[in-house]
Amino acid sequence: MALDTVVKDVLATSTSQVSEFNAETETEVAKILSEARDRAAEIKSRKEAEAENAVEALERREISSAHLELKRAELNLRKDLLEQTNIKLFEALSKLPKKKNEALLKKLVEPYDLKERCVSSNEKDKAFISSLAPNYGSEINTIGGVVIESMDGLMSYDLTYETMAREVFERSMKDVSKILFG
């Protein structure tokens, strides 16, 4: 029986060592799993923060892009409205009643000594301008107004309605924009 006792002792010692080893292994596995879960939670938290930051950055870019597109559309609309206003101005100038047009033409040439100048106008105003200026130059392509030149051609004054309207429009652009767009 002494062999049985030795076997029992070896078995008991082995079982005890296996239990200890299993307990240590379970503790080690639990520790490794806990560390892995902590690392996974940390990685998940970091990735969520990165994703949230990326989404916020994308939202900011999209909002900024939308604002830019809206501003561009608004500026294009304003430009179109200003161009339409300019076109309507030229239409109104080209349809001035004869008496108003002649009074305006007379006012334009008044400061100049027309005896020493050559004056050009459109075909419609040729007869009237010829009656004011002894040196009628030529017909020009304009909706109205005149071009006054020195006899030697070195000095020229463009007093056409288009040129004057464009100059006034450019000088008054800020005021016109305020009136139209507030």
**Which tens digit of pLDDT belongs to each residue from 13-56?**
877 777 888 888 888 888 888 888 888 889 989 988 888 998 99
| DSSP 8-state symbol, 112 | S
Looking at domain 97-181, its CATH superfamily turns out to be ATP synthase, E subunit, C-terminal (3.30.2320.30)
CA-CA distance, 146 to 162, in Å (whole number)?
A: 10
Chain segment 3-13, per-residue pLDDT in tens? 677 777 777 78
Question: Does 1 score more than 60 pLDDT?
Answer: no
Question: Does 180 score more than 70 pLDDT?
Answer: no
Rounded mean pLDDT, 81-110: 89
Sign of the dihedral through C-alpha 134, 135, 140, 144: negative
Q: Beta strands 136-139 and 117-121: pairing type?
A: parallel
| SS3 per-residue string spanning 8-42 | HHHHHHHHHHHHHHHHHHHHHHHHHHHHHHHHHHH
What are the domain boundaries of the chain? 1-95, 97-181
CA-CA distance, 142 to 155, in Å (whole number)?
A: 19
